[in-house]
Structure 1
Amino acid sequence: MSEPGVRAEEGEARPLRARRALLRRLADVVSLPASRINVFERSVVGDLLVVVLRTASVEERRRVAQRLAPLGELPDALKRLLLRDDPGVARPLLEDCAALSDADLIGCARDAGPEHRLMMAARRGLTEAVTETLLSWGEEAVIAAVLRNDSARMPQSAIEGVIALSRGAPGLSALLLRRLELRPAGAYVMFWWCAAEERRTILQRFAVSREVMQSSVEDVFALAAEEGWSDPVARKALQFIERRQRNRAAVAKSPYADLEAAVAAAGAAGLTRDLVAEIGYLSGIKPLTSAKILADAGGEPLAILCKATGLTRRDLTVLWRAMRRPETAEDGAEHPDWRRVQIIYEMLAVDRAQTVLRYWNWTLSSALTPTLLRAIREGEEALIDEYSAPERAALLALAENFGR
């Protein structure tokens, strides 16, 4: 009820002015240093401020949030309210407030919307727990923002989840390559759906030498030989480390004198499934791995196969033609794909090319996590019945365009 002699509209305006003043004063009290107000007093003031904020305008709530953002301590009820508020209100806290714990951020990520998560993704110093929560929603814009945030820490489980998503979101691949957390297993899985420049980056960064391993276990080869290579675990690991790439035992069973003869046959008659499998056996890799390499649209894996197995540039040309890939463009110039494949062949040392090839062959069947295996298998089950049951179980990774 208004005071006597005061018009009704003035009577309504006065409480609003009082409420605004109250908001400012309460925000000031919450902002007092610990020397002036203890934690219990601050909590009580925070509870009262929450009550007043619930009926305040968006602009008023934004101003209060901006006032409180620099603080290193805030009442829990106040944080919960403001973090779940309109994105414009929550922004000052989400971007800069040091008073927010991991629990505060994770709770906000779960309860609020995509705009809140996007703002949070750019926050400095995000921990593994927070980034994993942010990435779990599968929102490409949020994921990209986290990947761009160099101060954010990411667990391997989150990195692997993003690798799997990058198959359907090509823009994430380049951002993943910026992350120091990316490891060879993930990079070599992602390689298959990366663009040409990203593939080159992967090869330059992860095509590592095995010289240290080779020198460290040199005497173990003799021990394994004395045991007749009876330990399958040791045999598999040593096969990855050894210098020789080709499978000598396969030559005795092959209808071809050597790998070069199989390549020449492919050049003369074209690639068949039997020839693809035979090239794989002679190269020391699984038929599925050779099928994926010889079906790849970009062509870079072919250069790696040839360099790792000691095939010459002439053999590379023969296989390129057997794959029915163009050497020249419409204007008569060298085709960019063919030029790129030749550059990859020249730039990689044999030892490093072998590392890449063996990683593909070895990790695709035995050393990947379920997340990365699912990423490989998705959409690549075509023609899988051409191969044995163990191979199907190990790697469902045939390229969709093989046999065209």
Structure 2
Amino acid sequence: MSENLSSQSLLKLAMDSSKGSKDALMENITDLFLSSKGRLNEHERVLMNDIMVKLLKTVEKTIRKNLSKKLAESDEISIELVTMLANDNIEIAQPVLEKSKLLRDEDLIETIRNRTDAHRLSIAIREHVSENVSGELIEHGSEDVIEALIRNENAEISQASLDYLVQESRSVDRFQEPLVNRNDLSFEMAHKMYWWVTAALRRKIVEDFDVDPNLLDDALESATKEIIANHNEEDGVMQKAILLVRTMNNQRRLNFDFVVTSLRQQKINVAVAALAEMSGLGVKIIWRVIREKNDEGLAVISRAIGLEKSQFSSMFLLILQVNSGPKARSTSILNTMLSLYDRIKPANARAAVKYWQRDYHFQEAQLLLQDAC
């Protein structure tokens, strides 16, 4: 210990029960931790931590606040002391909540669950926030806390939590901008959000101005897709299939025979991408038609792109095998579908597909907004 902070002077302060002496003792002990003349040995460190823990509740608020500021980045203080400071009034707790690296996830979670929103806000802007802590902040925090967390680039947020926040951003506009700017937001999530924002804008403009909704849809969809096009998605299986099909289409080699060949070879992604390219529909809509066994939708798409009845029949049977296996009983089903195919007028089919060409998420968002009205 330094000469100015001798054991005798500290003992004298400790023996004095006055408020002023306790405050002075706490300040002197704090200075020991921060002294540039040498670190405390292990015995001294344990002793001083113990004294500070016992004094903490009896010293003035201003002393506790000063103590928290001085020791926020210290690695010498005990867990007991730092957690006591972290759970004090926010003006005292804030420095350690924001900066102390001694606080463990379980300590932070305990504070999140039992203290104020101001405490949660301080935790949300820490230099590092783990997924577990982020989850607790999202569960217990206000919109202010959650927005601060989303804006914290060093906060780890699980994909499940991000998905929840993306869903929440439908109704909480302030989450949208910081979510879109996060590096860990997937393209799929960002895509959904773009359409939600666009759909909300569409409703607002249609309500406030005398405009043709169809022309407005075209303009908004074009602008939003241009934004999305600037986002590079990792090449997955579906993305590779789309690129293959687009290349073939540019080379004028894409036709119905290619779709049939892909289905026979069980290359379902390629077949879906080919149908999407030929119809101008998104792959999600084609997947929905196939997976949900929407045979009427398949008939409409076939009519719209000009398939002959025999071509539709071949494709329908192959897709039926994909969904139900090679032993699927198809005769009666096929007759029903061919009858449906005959009843669909090509002009009506093209009109339906033009509506379906609106982006999948854009349509979904409009329906959600209509339901909310």
TM-score for the superposition, normalised by structure 1: 0.55
- Gapped runs of 5+ residues in structure 1? 1-12, 264-278, 284-289, 294-304, 307-356, 365-375, 381-396
Identity score, percent: 22
| Displacement of 1:115 | 0.6
Whether the 8 Å contact between 2:242 and 2:273 is mirrored in structure 1 is no
Structure 1 residue aligned with 2:71: 68
Higher helix residue share = 2
Looking at structure 2, the residues matched to 92 and 111 of structure 1 have their Cα atoms a distance apart, in angstroms, of 18
The residue type equivalent to 2:370 in the other structure is N
Select which of 161, 165, 168 maps to 2:164: 161
| Displacement of 1:162 | 1.1
Whether the 8 Å contact between 2:263 and 2:271 is mirrored in structure 1 is no
Is 1:186–2:189 an aligned residue pair? Answer: yes
Select which of 115, 133, 140 maps to 1:137: 140
Is 1:206–2:240 an aligned residue pair? Answer: no
Structure 2 residue aligned with 1:107: 110
Q: 1:153 to 1:199 in 2, by over 3 A?
A: farther
Looking at structure 2, the residues matched to 108 and 100 of structure 1 have their Cα atoms a distance apart, in angstroms, of 10
Q: 1:174 to 1:228 in 2, by over 3 A?
A: closer
| Displacement of 1:122 | 1.9
Looking at structure 2, the residues matched to 201 and 112 of structure 1 have their Cα atoms a distance apart, in angstroms, of 45
Instruction: Give the aligned length.
Output: 268
Whether the 8 Å contact between 1:69 and 1:97 is mirrored in structure 2 is yes
| Displacement of 1:229 | 4.4
Q: 1:205 to 1:138 in 2, by over 3 A?
A: farther
Q: 1:104 to 1:399 in 2, by over 3 A?
A: closer
Question: How do 1:2-401 and structure 2 match up within 5 A?
Answer: 15-31=18-34, 36-39=39-42, 41-194=44-197, 196=201, 203-207=225-229, 212-215=240-243, 225-226=260-261, 228-229=263-264, 231=266, 234-235=267-268, 238-240=271-273, 243-246=277-280, 248-251=301-304, 253=341, 255-258=344-347, 262-263=350-351, 279=352, 282=353, 305=357, 357=359, 360=361, 398-399=367-368, 401=370
CA distances 1:163-221 after superposition (whole Å, capped 9, x unpaired): 122222122112211112111222233344325499988644434688754455889x9
Kindly report the root-mean-square deviation, in angstroms, between the aligned alpha carbons of the 2 structures: 4.0
CA distances 1:102-158 after superposition (whole Å, capped 9, x unpaired): 343333222322110112222223333332222222521001111222333322222
CA distances 1:324-354 after superposition (whole Å, capped 9, x unpaired): xxxxxxxxxxxxxxxxxxxxxxxxxxxxxxx
Q: 1:160 to 1:214 in 2, by over 3 A?
A: closer
The residue type equivalent to 1:244 in the other structure is M
| Displacement of 1:31 | 4.0
CA distances 1:57-116 after superposition (whole Å, capped 9, x unpaired): 221211111111131343010011000110000111122334334343333222322110
Whether the 8 Å contact between 2:52 and 2:81 is mirrored in structure 1 is yes
The residue type equivalent to 2:278 in the other structure is R
Looking at structure 2, the residues matched to 201 and 179 of structure 1 have their Cα atoms a distance apart, in angstroms, of 21
SS of the aligned residue for 2:346 comes to coil
SS of the aligned residue for 2:345 comes to coil
Whether the 8 Å contact between 1:29 and 1:42 is mirrored in structure 2 is no
The residue type equivalent to 2:145 in the other structure is V
CA distances 1:331-381 after superposition (whole Å, capped 9, x unpaired): xxxxxxxxxxxxxxxxxxxxxxxxxx36x49xx9xxxxxxxxxxx8xxx9x
Looking at structure 2, the residues matched to 99 and 46 of structure 1 have their Cα atoms a distance apart, in angstroms, of 14
- Gapped runs of 5+ residues in structure 2? 1-15, 203-219, 233-237, 249-255, 281-297, 310-340
Whether the 8 Å contact between 1:71 and 1:97 is mirrored in structure 2 is yes
Whether the 8 Å contact between 2:83 and 2:107 is mirrored in structure 1 is yes
- Which shifted more, 121-130 or 26-35? 26-35
The residue type equivalent to 2:302 in the other structure is A
The residue type equivalent to 2:346 in the other structure is A
Whether the 8 Å contact between 1:191 and 1:199 is mirrored in structure 2 is no
Looking at structure 1, the residues matched to 191 and 65 of structure 2 have their Cα atoms a distance apart, in angstroms, of 46
| Displacement of 1:256 | 2.5
Whether the 8 Å contact between 2:120 and 2:141 is mirrored in structure 1 is no
The residue type equivalent to 1:249 in the other structure is S
SS of the aligned residue for 2:278 comes to coil
The residue type equivalent to 1:15 in the other structure is S
Whether the 8 Å contact between 1:187 and 1:202 is mirrored in structure 2 is no
Looking at structure 2, the residues matched to 84 and 201 of structure 1 have their Cα atoms a distance apart, in angstroms, of 49
Q: 1:211 to 1:55 in 2, by over 3 A?
A: closer
TM-score for the superposition, normalised by structure 2: 0.59
